[in-house]
């Protein structure tokens, strides 16, 4: 029984990674990836912090292979970890939003600074340089994710999905 649930989580993780990649590829905003954060919130709640991180990492690598910088990975992986850990502890969808925004808007932005400097030679003047770019994207995307989760919760589908995955 446990193996079956792990398999379901792995398949859903791959599907969420693909969904994020496709949405970010066809709905493009310069220097923003709100659909990554949309999927991060869904993944944090549905599959948890570690599978959510895996989905964000897979999507980030795919985005890097299609021409994006390493920010595609660093801007995505911290949000589902923090949001997923918060949801796991509190079961509060709104706090998952805060975890996604803080994880991406602060942790992801701070992690991007040294990597962009090292790999790409970009000389931003401050480690806080990326925060104004990451935070609005995370707020918009996480807000969309929370809206979808609330719709699923009110219809009863979220409870069924979570029980099927646990």
Asked, for residue 90, whether it belongs to a domain, the answer is yes
Asked, for residue 60, whether it belongs to a domain, the answer is yes
Instruction: Give the count of domains, the chain.
Output: 1
For residues 50-75, average pLDDT: 89
Asked, for residue 26, whether it belongs to a domain, the answer is no
Domain containing residue 90: 2-20+32-165
For residues 91-97, average pLDDT: 96
What's the CATH number where 106 sits? 1.10.1760.20
| CA–CA separation, 155 and 82 (whole Å) | 26
Neighbours of 129 (CB within 10 A): 17
The helix/strand count (H/E) of the chain reads as 8, 0
pLDDT 10s digits, 97-141: 999 999 998 998 888 888 877 877 777 677 787 888 889 989 999
Asked, for residue 102, whether it belongs to a domain, the answer is yes
- Is pLDDT of 1 > 60? no
To the nearest 10 degrees (0 to 180), the angle between helices 49-65 and 34-46 is 150
Q: Are 79 and 56 in contact (CB under 8 A)?
A: yes
| CA–CA separation, 20 and 60 (whole Å) | 9
pTM: 0.90
């Amino acid at each position: 029984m446990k193996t079956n649930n792990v398999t379901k989580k792995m398949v859903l993780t791959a599907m969420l990674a693909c969904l994020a990649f496709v949405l970010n590829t066809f709905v493009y905003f310069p220097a923003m990836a709100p659909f990554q954060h949309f999927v991060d919130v869904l993944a944090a709640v549905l599959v948890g912090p570690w599978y959510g991180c895996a989905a964000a990492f897979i999507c980030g690598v795919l985005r890097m292979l299609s021409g994006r910088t390493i920010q595609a990975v660093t801007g995505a992986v911290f949000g589902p970890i923090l949001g997923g850990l918060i949801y796991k502890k509190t079961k509060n969808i709104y706090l998952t939003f805060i975890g996604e925004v803080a994880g991406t808007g602060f942790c992801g932005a701070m992690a991007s600074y040294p990597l962009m400097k090292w790999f790409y030679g970009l000389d931003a003047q401050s480690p806080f340089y990326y925060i104004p770019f990451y935070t609005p994207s995370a707020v918009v995307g996480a807000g969309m994710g929370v809206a979808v989760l609330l719709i699923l919760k009110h219809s009863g589908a979220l409870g069924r999905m979570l029980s099927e995955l646990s």
